[in-house]
Amino acid sequence: MKQKRDVQQGTLALMVLKTLDVLGPLHGYGIARRIEQISGDLLSVNQGTLYPLLLRLEQEGAIQSEWGPSESNRRARFYRMTRAGHKLLEAEKRDWEQTAAIIARFFEVKAVEVKAQDLA
Amino acid sequence: MSTLKRLFTRLLNVTTRSRSDERLREEMDSHIAAQTEENISAGMTPEQARRYARLKFGSVEAVREGYHAEKGLPFLETLLLDVRYALRVLRKSPAFTVVALITLMLGIGANVVVFGVLNAVLLHPLDVSDPQNLYQMRHKQWAMGRLLTTSYPAFEDLRRRNTTFSGMAGIYGYSHGGLSWRNAEMRVSGDEVTGNYFDLLGVQPQIGRFFHIADEHGPDSAPYVVLSDALWRSRFHGDRDVVGATVELNKHPFTVIGVASAQFHGTEKFRWPDYWIPMVNERQVEAGDYLHSRTSITVTVIGRLKPGMMPQQATDDLNAIAAQLAKEYPETDDGQQLRLIHPGLIGDEGDVIRGFLYGVTVLALLVLAAACANLATLFAARAADRSRELALRVALGSSRRRLVRQLLTEAVMVSLMGGAAGLGSAYTLLGVLNRSSPFAGSLTVSVDARVYLVGLTLTLGSALLFGLVPARQVWQSSPVQMMKSGPVDSLRRFALRDLLLGVQVAICTLLVTASLVAVRGMVRVLHVPLGFQPQGAMLAEMDLSQVEQTGDEALEKKKAMIEALRSIPGVTAAGTVSRTPMTGGMHGIPIYRPGTAEFKLKNSVLAPYVFTMSPGYLDAARTRLLSGRDVSWQDTARTPYVAIVNETFARKMWGETPAIGQRFVIGGKLTEVVGLAEDGKYHDMQEPSQPVVYLPLLQSDDNEGVFVVRSRLAPNEMAAALERTLSGIEPNVPITVQSWSDSLAGELFPARAATVALGVMGLLAAMLAVTGIFGMAAYNVSRRMKELGIRVALGARKTQVMSAAVGRPMVLLGVGSVLGLLAGIFASRLLGQIVYQANPRDPVVVGGVVLTMTLLGIAASAIPARRALAVDPSKLMREE
């Protein structure tokens, strides 16, 4: 069996926002499943983190929620992006890309290059 | 932005305590249901599907906790919980709470009052622009009044020749007279100032304008008056139209040009002028012309330094000018060295006032320290009693941090409530003090932000001081130990509590010493031989300067008045004197030996106080005439000049030779001594013996005077009779009558204030000592009841039981008292700042302290000791 990893701290919000952005309104279970699927079931979403996070995003005004019928006609709470949420997603995305780019550079740089730069 | 919004939402959730548990529960249910469905469709049995769904979801409780933490503010919520719990605990032991609150209230209240006064007197600068750069010039030694600097011509020389000051203004602060407005006459006093005064200080009027240099064009050219806010409100009813109106000051018309702001009271904190007039117009208000005399030392000089100038440079500059002036005017200018002080506190009295206030502040802080030690003991004892409860909470999973937080919350709650009560009572007390205006002059002590801040700091500081002791105790204890054996820490030989009580007793002894020293000082001041007897004498003041009459007529009238007063039934003696002692007045009049060629200041032998008096004054004042005769109505301008001198004068002039018949020169007149009067106090209580000359009324041109009447009647009866008699002879002149003792009350104010302040603190300290010792002894006894019972059952003697019960507090009392007494002796310099002639080594004081502390110890331990002796072993044994 594959070893599943918990979602890294701080990245869950980004994943939640991106999921809602792509798929439109979703309930908590849907969001969790979706994140796990996209990660190729490499990640496991901890519900103890997900629901407080959803509440926080809602309090910050990034998402809105309301009760609605689920696919199997159950009552479920659906979360939807707000305009502020889109802005937040953009900002988070830029941040993340920047971080990723920096990290990537560190892996690309070879010892010879660093020395060459130092000498120059 | 979004963080702020979120904070508000969370705050709202906390305050409304909105419970959306329901929502989360439903959401979780639907989550699990969805997972179950998926599991079923993946081929599980429904039962298995539900089980796995739940397993995957994880702990519902954990989700709920995380959810709540996000929803509200956990820190705030715990705090609220702690506060609520603390309130409940405190309510459960009301006696403890009340004692703690009162202790703190007194400690913090005393400090706030003292700081309030300190703040108003010392920390608040004068309400002028850039007060730090405002200086007042003082003579190095020559004690020409407490404020005066120099003569007006010398002031002009200083102003013109100096190179270090950007500006210099002169003030004559003793201007007074009758102000008439719309047929109403009032007595007022104010400042006569140079034209640049207001501009130099950089102050603005609230209405109208101030006068400036440009308003002055030679003598009597600027008949303008600026009113103080207080005078404008009380006598002119705050009428804005008064600007431009004409009032009369000593019968001369002056135009009101402006009203000073309510914050501006001149340059003295304890003496607020009613008005300001330009100095060029002084002749209209004063009897003489001081603007052209180099011998009338009437001007107080203030100035501002040029930017970048150091006070030392300025002092050197001034002294160089003073030396020049002494060369140019050898007759009159003596080249006295000058120095710079900051104005505001009656010249050099500043040092005394500062020392007093800082001294009292130190003592007030000591009271608070004792109160904190007391509270720390109480709290520690309580924590020990609650150790089972605390241990239980630790055992149930409460973290130690949480317990300490709980205990500190309790301490902070108590101190906040106590501090609020203390601030409240201090506020009330200061209000009462302000209204009754016991402060010499008209200083108001306002409770401003700084005072509140100090109150809050003291409150929280003391909470930490006494809250950390029990917290530390809990931090170090082990729950297992506590549960197993209950409170046992008293078995330790020397606990922190003992140290606290010892410190407390030592501080209290120090404070009791201080208050006894103060009381002794007060008693001594009250018994200082004054050289006159204010009790039983009345003073009547009549302003005769407005009555048009020649000198001779005035004297005749005065003689008639004294005769009339003497004939009032019950009156034993009556007379007039230019000014009664301790009301300021003429002093430093130079005296020369007969035959002195040049009447220069430096040839003078003495500079005594001079009083002008009528026959009968010495008798009315009960100043004993040691030899010779009193002045008489036959000593007139046409007979040889005579004088009465006091012992100090005689000793300094002629040593052991009898003074009667000796001669000296005063005011250019050769004068013969005809009487010798006893020494006394003439300016203040503290002065060393001063030389004094009494001149007969009929040989002087000084017509001002106070009637002194001694009688056997009660003061109120006497007052009516005096007024009737005097207005019978000179109607339509305002008369003020008061008993001499009342008029001296102001002079005794510092000694009284010190005694009251230290007395109150000593009392507080004594109360703290009693509660501290009582608390410890009572606690000891209640904790060791069982042990005492066993001891009694085994045949212990009463003394043994006693020593077991209250021995330790008594030992602490003894050690603490000795330390406190020693500290008191070493602190005599501190006490000397507060009390005149403080001497803690005085055997009466030492004895008093020992007696007080012994009595306190007995009083505090009597009840616990009785309880210990009344132990009934059989009953106690049965109880457990």
Neighbouring residues of B208: CB distance < 8 A, sequence distance ≥ 6 = B226, B243, B244, B256, B257, B258, B259
Would B112 be classed as within a structural domain? no
Q: How far is A41 from chain B (nearest CA, A)?
A: 14
Comparing alpha-carbon positions, the chain B residue that sits nearest to A28 is B31
Q: Is the CB of residue B693 less than 8 Å from the CB of residue B578?
A: no
**B479 — phi, psi (to 5°)?**
-60, -35
pLDDT at B241: 81
Residue B192 has pLDDT above 80, yes or no: yes
**Are residues B705 and B559 part of one domain?**
yes
- Out of A27, A46, A59, whose CB is closest to B9? A59
Coil vs helix vs strand at B730 = coil
Neighbouring residues of A42: CB distance < 8 A, sequence distance ≥ 6 = A2, A4, A5
* Separation between Cα atoms, residue A103 and residue A95, nearest integer Å: 12
pLDDT in tens, B248-273: 877 788 888 888 887 788 777 777 78
Would B110 be classed as within a structural domain? no
Residue B441 has pLDDT above 50, yes or no: no
The pTM of the full predicted model, rounded to 2 decimals, is: 0.65
Where does a domain end: B299, B315, B343?
B343
Token pair 């079923």 in the structure block, residue: B40
A33 token code pair: 């499943």
Average pLDDT over residues B567-593: 77
**Are residues B184 and B282 part of one domain?**
yes
Half-sphere exposure of residue B349, counting CA atoms within 13 Å on the CB side? 15
Give the CATH number for residue A59: 1.10.10.10
**DSSP bridge pairs for B737:** B540
The size of the A-B interface in CB pairs under 8 A is 75
What is the pLDDT of chain B when averaged over all its residues?
77
Where does a domain end: B343, B364, B385?
B343
pLDDT at B144: 42
Range of the domain at A78: 5-119
**Are residues B763 and B630 part of one domain?**
no
The per-residue DSSP string of B62-121 comes to: HHHHHHHHHHS-HHHHHHHHHHHHHHHHHHH-HHHHHHHHHHHHHHHHHHHHHHHHHIII
**Are residues B143 and B261 part of one domain?**
yes
Range of the domain at B25: 2-72
**Are residues B330 and B279 part of one domain?**
yes
Contact list in B for residue A53 (CB cut-off 8 A) is 70
Where residue B756 falls among pLDDT bands split at 50, 70, 90?
confident
By percentage, how much of chain B surpasses pLDDT 90? 0
pLDDT at B304: 84
Would B594 be classed as within a structural domain? yes
Inter-chain contact A52–B63, Cβ cutoff 8 Å?
yes
**Are residues B462 and B374 part of one domain?**
yes
pLDDT at B491: 46
Coil vs helix vs strand at B829 = helix
Q: Is the CB of residue B356 less than 8 Å from the CB of residue B754?
A: yes
Number of domains in chain A: 1
Average pLDDT over residues B687-692: 80
Coil vs helix vs strand at B162 = coil
Neighbouring residues of B320: CB distance < 8 A, sequence distance ≥ 6 = none
Contact list in A for residue B30 (CB cut-off 8 A) is 27-29, 70, 74-77
Q: Which of residues 15-34 of B touch A (CB under 8 A)?
A: 23-24, 26-28, 30-31, 33-34
Query: Quick one: how far is CA B232 from the chain centroid?
Result: 28
pLDDT at B140: 60
- Out of B10, B27, B57, whose CB is closest to A59? B10
pLDDT at B308: 79
Average pLDDT over residues B470-498: 62
Would B454 be classed as within a structural domain? yes
Comparing alpha-carbon positions, the chain B residue that sits nearest to A31 is B31
Average pLDDT over residues B467-485: 69
Token pair 């300490």 in the structure block, residue: B404
Residue B642 has pLDDT above 80, yes or no: yes
Q: Which residues of A touch B (CB under 8 A)?
A: 27-30, 32-33, 46-49, 51-53, 55-56, 59-62, 70, 72, 74-77, 84, 88
Number of domains in chain B: 4
**Are residues B583 and B728 part of one domain?**
yes
pLDDT at B880: 53
pLDDT at B533: 83
Average pLDDT over residues B636-660: 85
* Separation between Cα atoms, residue A46 and residue A32, nearest integer Å: 8
**Are residues B360 and B339 part of one domain?**
no
**Are residues B17 and B62 part of one domain?**
yes
Residue B30 has pLDDT above 80, yes or no: yes
Would B651 be classed as within a structural domain? yes
Would B82 be classed as within a structural domain? no
**Are residues B562 and B464 part of one domain?**
no
Sheet strands (E) in B678-724:
692-696, 706-711
Neighbouring residues of B158: CB distance < 8 A, sequence distance ≥ 6 = B137, B150, B168, B301, B318, B321, B322
Inter-chain contact A60–B2, Cβ cutoff 8 Å?
yes
**Are residues B618 and B565 part of one domain?**
yes
**DSSP bridge pairs for B708:** B539, B575
Neighbouring residues of B592: CB distance < 8 A, sequence distance ≥ 6 = B599, B603, B604, B605, B664, B665, B666
**Are residues B199 and B333 part of one domain?**
yes
Average pLDDT over residues B560-584: 82
Among A41, A51, A73, A89, most B C-beta atoms within 10 A, so best to mutate, is A51
Where does a domain end: B343, B377, B402?
B343
pLDDT at B440: 43
Comparing alpha-carbon positions, the chain B residue that sits nearest to A76 is B30
pLDDT at B72: 67
pLDDT in tens, A50-68: 888 888 888 888 888 888 8
B6 token code pair: 């979120």
Among B11, B57, B67, most A C-beta atoms within 10 A, so best to mutate, is B67
pLDDT at B548: 57
Average pLDDT over residues B626-646: 85
Token pair 């040989």 in the structure block, residue: B699
